Amino acid sequence: MADAPLPTLFNEVPPALLGYYDARAPWSLLGDGLDELLSQLPSDAIEIDLHPSVHLVGKHIAIGAGSRIQPGAVIAGPIFIGRDVQVRPGAYLRGGNWIGDGCIVGANTEIKRAVLFPGARAPHLNYVGDSVLGREANLGAGTILSNFRHDGAEVAIPLAKGAIRTGRRKLGAILGDGVLTGCNCVLHPGVVVGRQTQIYPGVQLRSGVYPADSIIKLRQQLEILEKT
């Protein structure tokens, strides 16, 4: 785990979000500014045709040209979905999301109050709660970004000396550009991962700060016994 407070996360913050971003507290993207940004969306700014089985709930729903919303998806406003986004069958996008151009939200994936930079992907059976995914970040199948402590306490991010208080009771993961997770990873509330880091399948990351340009491995010892 890194001793420095925060690693390098993003090469570039999308212009629409830049005014709400604080590099010292990247979870600021999930704060009141996000509500302000989404509340300014027109009540119906959908630039594509939708299949009759796509369910729209609430107001302030924007979907850009070239996006494909497949049958059975549920999209709740307020929400911004950029251009050329794929939302696959059974996806549930709860209110309060900003999904950048070229993102993928996979089948039976749930996205709750999250920011996905352009090209980020949560393509297979994922849960993304109160989290930020940098450009081209990719979640392996079954990856969970958990956002709530069992005791309901504020999510703090431990460091080698002390901790960073976030002021949030719900906070998942902040993943830098190009972060990759393997299948069935679980990231506990309050995980920050620097850009271009790879996380091996099955890893559980406890709250904390993890460096950029790293590989995080799970070492597993198997015991194989002869049947008796």
Contact 21, 28 (CB under 8 A): yes
CA distance 41 to 82: 12
Is residue 60 annotated as part of the catalytic site, yes or no? no
Q: What's the first-to-final CA gap in the chain, in angstroms?
A: 44
From 55, 60, 124, 188, the catalytic residue: 124
Kind plus residue range of the DSSP H or E element containing 45: strand 44-46
Q: What is the rounded distance in angstroms from the CA atom of residue 173 to the CA atom of residue 148?
A: 11
Question: What DSSP letter does each residue of 83-135 carry, written as one string?
Answer: TT-EE-TT-EE-SSEEE-TT-EEEET-EEES-EE-TT-EEEES-EEES-EE-T
Tokens representing 183 are 């299948």
Nearest Cα to 129, choosing from 191, 203, 177, 198? 191
And the tokens for 194?
A: 């620097």
Residue indicated by tokens 């993102």: 103
Structure tokens at 145: 């970004």
Q: Which residues are catalytic?
A: 124
